[in-house]
Amino acid sequence: MAYSKNDRSERLLQGRRFTTDNLTLGQEAFTDVFDLGATEIYTDDGLIPTASSQLTFNSAADDQKIVSGSVVDPALSPDLPILRYHFRHKMKPASDASKEVYYFTTSEPTHPDTDTVTSDQLIETDQQTNFVSPKYIIASDSSKSTEGNPPGYKVIVYKDSSATAGGVSSAAANPADYVFDFKTGVLSWKQNKPGAGQYVYLTAYQYIGRTLRSQIDDGSIGGGSSGDFTSAGISGSWQGALGSSPTAVVNSGLSNSQIAGLAAGIVSGSAQIVAGLPNGVVSGSEQTIANLPNGVVSGSAQTIDNLVGSTILSGSGLATSITNITSSLTIDKGVVFTNANGQLQQDADGKFTYDSSDNRLKVDNLETTTFTASFVTSSIIKASGSNVLGDEAAVDVQTLIGSTVMSGSAAVSGSMFVSGSLTFNLIDCGTF
């Protein structure tokens, strides 16, 4: 039959997958446990050595030595501890005195039969977990043991009456006689259990790298125990987060209200926040930016200079919403004025132009209350309608240099003084 309850239970105990009873226990693939806590998630699993050539510990002289992450990644900086090697660690028997179950605890038993764990239903305070199974090593090295040369991840177990690891003289136990749970550090004997006066020794590699829990606690993931993301929690380039389609991310991922509701100072600093975005990233209604409160976007003026699209500085969008310009403004097209409220005003029809090459301003029509000029030069000056020069007869003096030609009548109110000759073609004296 395809399903066997006993086979399935035993395989799950060893962290193996159950597919069919046509496969033996040793043929089934290793798999993850079903329920995982943050302390059980290895965030440095990519630094666990995957070949025997990366493992060098296999003897009593190597007991408690550390395998670092640089074995897998030589460029790793700073280096990280990943594995600890345990050579023939003495395991503590279960409290029921049946000698069928043993636990990997920091404290080693002083008597093989009577020094047991406190309770089989409670986890010992010094119980060790997270041992590395052969599922982490390449298939060709999966049969190599923790005392092999070169070593692997297959544990070695001994039953011996010696009270010290150095005195163990018996051969290693048959792996078919026991089951070792790499996740919990519990060893269960299926047959040929230890006899009276015999200790149980185990050699294994243990994972001591970082876990999701440890990184949440120290703030390297998630910004610390407060749960808030900080500058340490989120870093790096925005460009990588945008992926291959930044336009879609920005357009569909953030609504107007989400951006408009940002508090002051949320987006600040380098101009690259906007300058590095490709054409089309900021698009749609101008109100997406126009509704931002004061202080949300701050820093270099280049943040605005590099915005793309024809709608950014026109219409009723961003152009009419910038009301707090307090520094100089540099432009390279047309002339910009501001109204009484400081809002930008531009001539959209080209009715006035400025030529920087000769410092000349050309205006089709100019209306002003007061006009002051130091020097006016022109070949023709036309002034239609009636014109008044001066406003106080006894004070204002109008000086014309050169010949003066008048077409039409001239009337003089008051005295007229002529220095030099006065020539007339015709004089009508009228009545004296």
Phi and psi of 25, rounded to 5°?
-60, -45
Instruction: Tell me the pTM.
Output: 0.52
Q: What would the mean pLDDT of 207-215 be, rounded to a whole number? A: 95
The 156-160 sheet, strands edge to edge? 66-68, 81-90, 199-207, 156-160
Q: Which residue has tokens 């026109």?
A: 314
Q: Output the DSSP codes for 62-99.
A: GTT-EEEGGGT-TT-SS--EEEEEEEEEEPEEPTTS-S
Q: Tokens representing 42? A: 């290895």
* Distance, CA of 140 to chain centre: 39
pLDDT tens-digit readout, 314-338 = 444 444 444 444 455 555 555 566 6
Closest CA to 299 of 277, 274, 270: 270
DSSP code at position 263: P
DSSP SS3 for 309: coil
Q: Are 308 and 279 in contact (CB under 8 A)?
A: yes
Instruction: Please tell me the predicted confidence (pLDDT) of residue 372.
Output: 76
pLDDT tens-digit readout, 128-183 = 999 999 999 999 999 999 999 999 999 999 999 999 999 999 999 999 999 999 99
Instruction: Please tell me the predicted confidence (pLDDT) of residue 405.
Output: 80
Q: Tokens representing 108? A: 């080693």
DSSP SS3 for 287: helix
Instruction: Please tell me the predicted confidence (pLDDT) of residue 352.
Output: 67
DSSP SS3 for 260: helix
pLDDT tens-digit readout, 380-411 = 667 777 888 787 877 888 888 878 888 777 78
With a pLDDT cut of 70, the percent of the chain lying above it is: 65
The domain limits of the chain are 32-214
DSSP code at position 176: G
DSSP code at position 205: E
- The CA distance from 17 to 11, in Å, is 6
